[in-house]
Amino acid sequence: MQKTKGKGERLWAMGAMSGTSLDGVDAALIETDGHDIFAFGASQYRAYSADEQRVLSAALGKWPGEDLGAAEDIVMRAHLDAMAQLESAALAGFHGQTLAHDPRGRGTHQIGDGAALAEALSLPVVWDFRSADVELGGQGAPLAPFYHFACARHIGAKAPLAFLNLGGVGNITWIDPAKDSPEAEGALLAFDTGPANAPINDLMMARRGVPFDEGGALARKGVVAEGALELFLDEAYFRKIPPKSLDRDAFADMIELVRELSDADAAATLTAMSAAGVLQAMEHCPSPPERMLVTGGGRHNPVLMEMLRAALDCPVEPVEAVGLDGDMLEAQAFAFLAVRVARGLPTSCPGTTGVRAAVSGGTLSRPDLGVREA
């Protein structure tokens, strides 16, 4: 597959994503030329077991050179389990598992070997999507906005809108679909809104031994501690001008703020903190979005969605309302980005990560010779 700039032939690409919620691996197929979405294909989900989650959780915050063999084995095995079930792809995008993210310090760290995956799948694999962006002064995150732009065009959006991803960390993409391309000035603004599911999940595991607050049931029984919420919103991050990004555990002290609360009040307060971060983010949008489309696991939490609808001045809907798959959107994004990398097209720009200029990040590994192309 030769790198060529501009529009090329449409092809089926596979993408895989394992997020900071540590729930499992999503894998999905889309048909694209790196500009437009022509069709959505099959998808697979491979959950992490409780034992696997414990190993991965223990690896969070670690950097290259530390003992990560067990965690990487889990990541590789789970991705292969999911991706091998999908057929007819010409190319794959592999994000790996983020363990640490410190773009203005040590960089960004995702475990997983794309070259080994290319050999196992007998398929060209694009991976290490974030490093080039960080090296050029960017935050290395979020990376889905270029795909969100394609989705906005795919659904026929005419006015500015926002995609909100509620994973372990929340991130928002404000989009002007009237622009010619995602890298055009004013087309995109993207940044992390703050913690989303990660603190709630951590609380549930620590106090109840379950991975998440299913249906927001525990939060619904609780009362938000306004004092803790105010302390949370005093964090300097919310006043920082975007683009900006967070590590999964950047707000680890949220748990300290709710330590003395009952389980229900703690869950309600952490959920309110996630919603409040999104409300703060809206102040940075260039103009009010016509609607907000929500993806990621947080859209399944009705209490969180109710809080967002009460706080925001625009309709807040799951992406399924426009025919998209909120469980697979991130995996699809890395299929889309893989095609762009293979064709020499940008995958991030100043408006999405703060990188100095639009950059095509990623490494392409071919299965035959294990060749890596930056």
Widest CA span of the chain, in angstroms? 59
**Sequence-separated (6 or more) residues with CB below 8 Å from residue 100:** 60, 61, 62, 63, 106, 108, 109, 247
pLDDT tens for the chain, 374 residues long, are: 334 445 679 999 999 999 878 889 999 999 999 999 999 999 999 999 999 999 999 999 999 999 999 999 999 999 999 999 999 999 999 999 999 999 988 999 999 999 999 999 999 999 999 999 999 999 999 999 999 999 999 999 999 999 999 988 999 999 999 999 999 999 999 999 999 999 999 999 999 999 899 999 999 999 999 999 999 999 999 999 998 988 777 888 888 999 999 999 999 999 999 999 999 999 999 999 999 999 999 999 999 999 999 999 999 999 999 999 999 999 999 999 999 999 999 999 999 999 999 999 999 999 975 455 55
- Angstrom distance (rounded) from CA 318 to CA 97: 25
* Shared domain check, 352 and 223: no
Q: Is residue 145 part of a domain?
A: no
Tell whether 167 and 313 lie within a shared domain. yes
What range does the domain containing 185 cover? 156-322
Question: Are both 80 and 167 inside the same structural domain?
Answer: no
Is pTM, for the whole model, over 0.85? yes
Residue 119 structure tokens: 């050999």
Verify that 230 and 345 share a domain, yes or no: no
If asked whether residues 168 and 72 sit together in one domain, one would say no
The rounded distance, in Å, linking the Cα atoms of 289 and 308 is 14
- The verdict on residue 166 lying in a domain is yes
Q: Are 167 and 315 part of one and the same domain?
A: yes
* All residues at 6 or more sequence positions from 310 whose CB lies less than 8 Å from its CB, including other chains: none
d(CA 69, CA 111): 10
Task: Return the CATH number at 360.
Answer: 3.30.420.40
Secondary structure (3-state) at 364: strand
127 and 230 housed in the same domain? no
Sign of CA dihedral 204, 302, 42, 331: negative
| Alpha-helix residue ranges (DSSP H) falling in the chain | 50-59, 69-83, 114-121, 131-135, 145-154, 198-208, 217-221, 226-233, 254-257, 263-282, 302-311, 329-342, 350-353
Same domain, 119 and 162: no
Count of domains in the chain? 2
